[in-house]
A and B are shown apart, each in its own frame.
Chain A
Amino acid sequence: MSAYVLEMKGITKTFPGVVALDDVTLSVEKGTVHALIGENGAGKSTLMKILNGVYTATKGELFLEGQPLHLQGVRDAQEKGISTIFQEFNLINALSVAENIFLGRFEGKGQIKWNRINRKARELLEKLGFNFDVSKPVGKLSTAEKQLVEIAKALSYDAKIIVMDEPTSSLTKKEIELFFPIIEKLRKGGITVIYISHKLDEIFHICDRVSIMRDGKLVGESLVSEITRERIIELMVGRSMEMEYPARTASPGEPVLEVKNLTREPLLHDISFTLHKGEILGIAGLVGAGRTELAETIFGAAVADSGSIEINGKAVSIRSTMDGKANSIGMVTEDRKETGLVLDMSVTRNITVTKLDEVTTGIVLSKQKEGEVASEYVQKLNIKTPSINQTLYNLSGGNQQKVVLSKWLFSNVEILILDEPTRGIDVGAKYEIYCLMNELTEQGKSIIMISSELPEVLSMSDRILVMHKGMIKGELTGAKMTADNVMQLAID
């Protein structure tokens, strides 16, 4: 009998033009939280999709509790005790919590026994230490609550293994703090968790073992207690990294953007601030504080009820995204799948979409110019893709994020709003992106950066605004920019 609940042996997976996994062997002990980390495009998600029946391996074998495992699909994997919590939840918004948990498995002959189903759903949530209305439609829940429903669903299948692919990337700090005890409960219950994340702190906080991947290969494995943060980074990036954040190189000049008494009921109240040339202005606050809404209103994706915006001292009217772009404002949105990328289109087309004029001769699009632009950004941001004509569907999460950044870098706007710019991006690539932000501000461009990652805001901003309930609660500069000060302003 092996002590491993799961063994993946010699797994190889190829896609046209890509070797996503090259002879990977992963063994996971029962009842542990096993971290899987690595660069963007290293093959983490692909490996997990082989485990949960989405893909079949080109080569290699799986063993569950010592027995060979052959999967016929996601449902089959679920029934055999392997559940996955994807970043995009597999839930139907119009159905209730209980309905979602037991979808396709309703009890009762002919007539569904709702009482029993609701009671069971309630019990599952209670097991996780939560208690909320199971007849509520899932669409009305927060991201964290939806995740909880997914976990309850996994438990309802008697999951032995729960895979979590970047579960905290769209949770707030507070939600993350509530999320960790859930993992602890799962572990205590003998359930194995495979945990993918780009946030190293989390690994040290909750994981027992860590496997590190690079370029489709497993390059290291260790007990978390026996490895250092630096060593992990070194293994995944392939070189040692002195710092995770570069020093700011530009210094702010005269004002470029002045926002005065901007109000958009009920989300934004009387917001005024100034952005300077060459400045990175950080905006911190809890999710729901109105940060994204503020960004949308400045860019023109939503229209303010009152207030004014001045650019270079001149009042401008921004009532649509076209107005925003015409005033040289760009915005990297926080949700790459919903609002950032056309997943059906190629890398090239996604990058050039913001500024097609730049790649047209007369009125005719020049494929050659487009290709040059795309190649330039693929190289600059180190986007891992077999070709610039690959559709975005087939890129890894982090590489998709790099394409979102590229499209707005290409648009060459003077004022760039970044909403959670490094979500899902690996440590090494983050550093590169921070360097790019430095470069842009050196060229005299200005950046507004919204981020829930405190270290990022603290390290990269010249100044920080903290939002709370649709208002700017405070401004921090210089030595006042500390985690404590930000949190104090962000919370009631």
Chain B
Amino acid sequence: MRKSTLDKKYIITLLIENAVTVFLVGFVIFMVFTKRSFSTWDNIVNIINESSIYGIAACAMTVVVISGEFDLSSSSIFGWSTVIFVICINAMGIVPAFFITLVCGAAFGALNGLLIAKVKMPAFVATLGTMIAIKGLAYVMTKAQPINTNNATLKAIGSFNMGGISIIPIVYLGVLVLFIWFMRYTKFGRDIYATGGNYEVARLSGINVVFSKFIVFTMLGAAAALAGMMYGVRIKAGWAPYGQDLALYCITATIIGGTSLLGGTGSVGKTVIGVLVLAVLFNALTLLGVSGSMQKFIRGLVLITVIMLDAVVAKRQKE
């Protein structure tokens, strides 16, 4: 007779753990039946193209979360990258622009890494500070105005099209495979898991914990820059406020995927689902005619809900 309560507890835990997948499936079914335009090939391609930009940064954000940290400044690095990318394209062409932007992003990430891993500042304070500083810098560079480019190569890249799929999902796929491989099959990836799982244990195992924390922020800086450039490829412009919501979006996608904010568990592969869930959700809201401001509200609600679920699941697993 005690068994029934046990089963109930077990099923509830299972449901909460897979709440996201359950929700996604249910929601997709709902949309397919209520909105014809949802399940058209055009719209599906649109979802894929749209989600790929932030998806690139989300991969790296997952690695940061696995290491037990998070990064708010990636939004600003993204915005900054659109700016510097376009400026450099106009000044010296696309290839130097690509590398300069990437190095800039990595450098900003490295600065975060230094502050957090070496100086031991809390991630919240450090990345809030760099978020504001980098954004300010991007505004200064452009006098707060958007800048455009007419670069022919950029246009050519931007118009690449394979059955509706642009270049961006292909880059996303490459980044995804790289990060999954890095975390699963390299020593560095393993060290990051250990560092996030228990910093002191990792340190006392002779792991270079400072480097582990440093490198994850550097990688995220580079990934945010790459994402910013992809945005540049799409809209052929740069502006400081672009990508404002990137950091929270990536953190939300990471948690939805099942990587815990506590660190040490989860995987980059899972975040793909998180990115997809958010993309489908916001695409559907747009199709349903929900206003932009309302979507912002919902975005906040989703973030709070998933963080709460994360805490609930963690608690249940402990018991």
Contact = CB atoms under 8 A, between A and B. Distances in A.
Interface of A: 54, 56-58, 70, 299, 301, 321-322, 324-325, 330-331, 333, 338-345, 349, 353-354, 356-357, 360, 363-365, 407, 411
Given A343-B197, A354-B206, 6 more contacts: A321-B204, A331-B204, A353-B205, A356-B191, A365-B187, A407-B205
B264 A342 contact: yes
Nearest to A363: B186
B198 A356 contact: no
A341 B186 contact: no
A333 B202 CA distance: 12
Contacts of A356: 187, 190-191
6 closest A-B pairs by beta carbon, nearest first, are A325-B206, A342-B197, A356-B187, A321-B206, A342-B198, A344-B264
24 contacts: A70-B2, A299-B204, A321-B205, A321-B207, A322-B206, A322-B207, A322-B208, A324-B206, A333-B204, A339-B204, A341-B198, A342-B193, A342-B197, A342-B202, A342-B264, A344-B264, A353-B190, A353-B202, A356-B190, A356-B191, A363-B187, A364-B186, A365-B185, A365-B190
A365 B186 contact: yes
B2 A321 contact: no
Interface in B1-35: 2-3, 5-6
B264 A345 contact: yes
Interface residues of B, number: 26
Interface in B140-195: 184-187, 190-191, 193-194
Contacts of B2: 56-57, 70
Contact of B265 (A301, A333, A344, A363): A344
A23 to B, nearest CB: 16
Nearest to B9: A56
Interface of B: 2-3, 5-6, 184-187, 190-191, 193-194, 197-198, 200-208, 264-265, 319
Contacts of A70: 2
A364 B190 contact: no
A324 B207 CA distance: 11
A340 B190 CA distance: 16
B194 A353 contact: yes
Contacts of A343: 197-198
Nearest to A345: B197
Contacts of A321: 203-207
Nearest to A413: B206
A56 B187 contact: no
Given A344-B265, A349-B193, A360 B187 contact: yes
Contacts of A57: 2
A324 B198 CA distance: 20
Contacts of A299: 204
A216 B2 CA distance: 21
Nearest to A72: B5
Contacts of A333: 204
Nearest to B1: A70
A327 to B, nearest CB: 11
Residue picked from A57, A325, A339, A342, most chain B C-beta under 10 Å: A342
Contact of A357 (B187, B200, B202, B319): B187
Residue picked from A299, A301, A333, A353, most chain B C-beta under 10 Å: A353
Contacts of B191: 356
Contacts of A340: 201, 204
Given A344-B265, A345-B264, A363-B186, A301 B204 contact: yes
A342 B203 contact: no
A299 B185 CA distance: 29
Contacts of A360: 187
Given A301-B204, A353-B194, A357-B187, A56 B264 contact: no
Nearest to A54: B319
Contact of A354 (B198, B205, B208): B205
A341 B198 CA distance: 8
B15 to A, nearest CB: 18
Contacts of A331: 204
Contacts of B190: 349, 353, 356, 365
Contacts of B186: 363-365
B100 to A, nearest CB: 28
A491 B177 CA distance: 61
A301 B209 CA distance: 12
Nearest to A360: B187
B244 to A, nearest CB: 33
A342 B201 contact: yes
Contact of A338 (B3, B184, B194, B200): B200
A331 B205 CA distance: 8
B126 to A, nearest CB: 22
A192 B186 CA distance: 53
A64 to B, nearest CB: 15
Given A360-B187, A364-B186, A365-B185, A342 B204 contact: no
Nearest to B187: A356
Contacts of B185: 364-365
Contacts of A349: 190, 193-194
B248 to A, nearest CB: 25
Nearest to A332: B204
A359 B205 CA distance: 16
